[in-house]
Structure 1
Amino acid sequence: MVIAVTRAGKVALLAGALFLASCSGAPDGPAEPRTEFNIGWSIYAGWMPWPYAQQAGIVKKWADKYGIKINVVQVNDYVESVNQYTAGKFDGVTVTNMDALTIPAAGGKDTSAIILGDYSNGNDGVVMKGPGSVSDLKGKQVNLVELSVSHYLLARAMGSAGLAPTDVRTINTSDADIVGAFTSPDVAAAVAWNPQLSVMKSQPGANLVFSSAQIPGEILDLLVVDTATLKANPNLGKALAGIWYETIALMQRQDETGEAARAAMAKLAGTTQETFESQLKTTYLYSEPQAAVEAVSSPTLMTNMKRVRDFSFSKGLFKGTSSADAIGMAFPGGKTLGDPQRVTLRFDESFMRLAADGKL
């Protein structure tokens, strides 16, 4: 059985998690220096370098350099991995920008995004049956995973055509059921991510009317770490950056070594190398640390995160708040979005910059 390389976008907040009114512009309380850390990951093409790095000894190499131990732990369910991180069971986790905001940050957990791994460059798309464009979605039902990056993508697509969210009716459909639903004659349109998207596009009459390639840099895949833990243990950030960029350089090689690395990643994901390679083509990897630093430092990131924030708030994903500004985000250069006294999501480029400067 071939297991799909997916990044489940379902949003499931921790039961009872509320934005903590007591959170401030700095992590609550000092964390203790430690020597062992746990990083959670789930299957997605852009995150497969992490388990491969562990298998290939790259994790141990960099952890040993800084006198620490790093356990890279797979969680089969993406949302569960983020919830476990939010509950403190992991020190860091692989997560999308939207889910980093709506789960740990909205739950009051001060979180730092230290590695910008990639953005979806066609991995997510809106598909309808028959000819037409986004404007022809008006009045139709659209199947998707509600309150996910698919829902966000649909909102961006509709906005590009001058449509309002109320111009369509969304039908909540799990990622496991979306392909089967699209084959039903009752379904006119759907939103999905790869590999489900590629299967749906191949069906007779399928028409891709909008994709994440049209909103580059808005659906981001990150590695985030608990801010207090990172502050008390900066060597963790250094080791993680070293692991990431050594592994990315290896998988980008167009020789037998690079091909072997990608084949191993595909196997770890439970899929074929052909499927894995095809998904990498619609995943824009920030393979060079300097490019990632520039992307995180660009004003465009703040613009995109404001879009994500406003959409998330409009869908009720900021529990216990009355304004989208209640949750603060910090960006390089001392810039903030939202309440600067309640920052719980930080885009920290410092470790990527060390990699770019060859100082790890």
Structure 2
Amino acid sequence: MVLRSLGKTSKIALVAGMLMLASCSGQSSVPEKRTEFNIGWSIYAGWMPWPYAQQAGIVKKWADKYGLKINFVQVNDYVESVNQYTAGKFDGVTVTNMDALTIPAAGGKDTSAIIVGDYSNGNDGVLIKGGDTLSAIKGKSVNLVELSVSHYLLARALSTVGMSLTDVKTVNTSDADIVAAFASADSSAAVAWNPQLSVMKGQAGAREVFSSAQIPGEILDLLVVDTATIKANPNLGKALAGIWYETLALMKQQDAKGKEARAAMAKLAGATPESFDSQLSTTYLYSDPKAAVTATASPEIMTNMKRVRDFSFSKGLFKGAASADAVGMSFPGNKTLGDAQRVTLRFDSSFMQYAADGKL
């Protein structure tokens, strides 16, 4: 089953809070040149190219080119993988933009997003029973994983019809329980991500009234690395960019090789090839590095990250912070959002640019 167990509620707030107390201005680690690195990953359609690349020898090919050894390590629990990265057990990790902000960055760990891999283009959605439009959700109880991107998606959806979270009652429901919860006669609305979302759409009376396809580019899936590590070891970034774009080029092929690659990714994810391809159909993969660079440098990414930041702060995910500006973010072109003296999340397009320019 392909899933992204996003933002396990209070655990995020707890970790962010503990780390915020430790450091609001980033970790002061001494850059160190190394040759071996560990990257954590968890199961999600947009992240399966990484373990497949390791299995297929693509990781070794690019690592060898730069005299490195890169290990991709699976962690069964998504939030635990991000927590382990934040604690320094991994040099990098696959993570959403919201969780990169609320866990390592809000905790003071200086983090660089070097691969903007994809955005949810329908993988997340709002469902209701007994209504045909989003406005019908007013006054209803909504099952979702609180303080996750589902919570964010609901807030964004409501804002498009002049409502806010005060117009509904959220019911914290784990991703493991949400399908059964929505099937209950007591549940009339829910927010979920695939594959649960696709199952819930098939339930009697269910109608999707909003999806992440209506807010393209806001729910991003990234590969982030420790900033001090990547500064001291730029060849790691080059190797990772090479791995990513070679693998995506292969999986996008509509021939036997491409089909074989996607089937192998599906197997690694515990999914059928058909289910995996369905997941990919609602995942906008930045397979062209030029497109990824353009997206990362666009004004929209700052607008979107401000929305994500403001929502996260409003829900208490920046523990110990007096304002949303406490966690600084930087973007290509020397642009910043929040406290420019306390930047802990950096969107670094330089390695994607190397790929775009054919200079890896």
TM-score (norm 1): 0.97
Deviations 1:194-231 (A, max 9, x none): 00000000112111000000000000000000000000
Matches within 5 A, 1:1-360: 4-11=1-8, 12-13=11-12, 15=15, 17-19=18-20, 23-24=24-25, 28-360=28-360
- Looking at structure 2, the residues matched to 198 and 85 of structure 1 have their Cα atoms a distance apart, in angstroms, of 31
2:345 alignment partner, SS class: strand
2:309 alignment partner, SS class: helix
What amino acid does structure 1 have at the position aligned with 2:338?
Answer: G
What amino acid does structure 2 have at the position aligned with 1:5?
Answer: V
Q: How far is the alpha carbon of 1:34 from its aligned partner?
A: 0.6
1:103 alignment partner, SS class: helix
1:88 alignment partner, SS class: coil
- Unaligned runs of at least 5 residues, structure 1: none
Conserved 8 A contact 2:24-2:107 = no
- Looking at structure 1, the residues matched to 162 and 4 of structure 2 have their Cα atoms a distance apart, in angstroms, of 29
- Looking at structure 2, the residues matched to 9 and 134 of structure 1 have their Cα atoms a distance apart, in angstroms, of 23
Deviations 1:71-114 (A, max 9, x none): 00000000000000000000000000000000000000000000
Deviation >4 Å, runs of 4+: 20-24
Conserved 8 A contact 2:24-2:106 = no
Aligned-residue Cα RMSD (Å) equals 1.2
Deviations 1:156-210 (A, max 9, x none): 0110110121110000000000000010000000000000000000112111000
Percent identity over paired residues = 78
Conserved 8 A contact 1:18-1:320 = no
Q: How far is the alpha carbon of 1:32 from its aligned partner?
A: 1.0
- Looking at structure 2, the residues matched to 54 and 170 of structure 1 have their Cα atoms a distance apart, in angstroms, of 40
1:19 alignment partner, SS class: helix
1:333 alignment partner, SS class: coil
What amino acid does structure 2 have at the position aligned with 1:60?
Answer: K
- Looking at structure 2, the residues matched to 61 and 130 of structure 1 have their Cα atoms a distance apart, in angstroms, of 54
Conserved 8 A contact 1:179-1:200 = yes
| Alignment: residue pair count | 356
- Unaligned runs of at least 5 residues, structure 2: none
Q: How far is the alpha carbon of 1:28 from its aligned partner?
A: 2.0
Q: How far is the alpha carbon of 1:133 from its aligned partner?
A: 1.2
TM-score (norm 2): 0.97
2:301 alignment partner, SS class: helix
Conserved 8 A contact 1:27-1:227 = no
- Looking at structure 2, the residues matched to 164 and 21 of structure 1 have their Cα atoms a distance apart, in angstroms, of 34
Conserved 8 A contact 1:127-1:190 = yes
- Looking at structure 2, the residues matched to 29 and 197 of structure 1 have their Cα atoms a distance apart, in angstroms, of 42
What amino acid does structure 1 have at the position aligned with 2:5?
Answer: A
- Looking at structure 1, the residues matched to 73 and 260 of structure 2 have their Cα atoms a distance apart, in angstroms, of 22
Deviations 1:267-300 (A, max 9, x none): 0001100000001000000000000000000000
Q: How far is the alpha carbon of 1:30 from its aligned partner?
A: 2.3
Deviations 1:235-264 (A, max 9, x none): 100000000000000000000000000000
- Looking at structure 1, the residues matched to 65 and 303 of structure 2 have their Cα atoms a distance apart, in angstroms, of 38
Q: How far is the alpha carbon of 1:20 from its aligned partner?
A: 5.3
Q: How far is the alpha carbon of 1:10 from its aligned partner?
A: 2.3
The structure-2 alpha-carbon separation of the partners of 1:176 and 1:92, relative to structure 1 and needing over 3 Å to count, comes to same
- Looking at structure 1, the residues matched to 164 and 280 of structure 2 have their Cα atoms a distance apart, in angstroms, of 33
1:95 alignment partner, SS class: strand
What amino acid does structure 2 have at the position aligned with 1:10?
Answer: G
1:321 alignment partner, SS class: coil
Quick check: 159-168 or 291-300, which moved more? 159-168
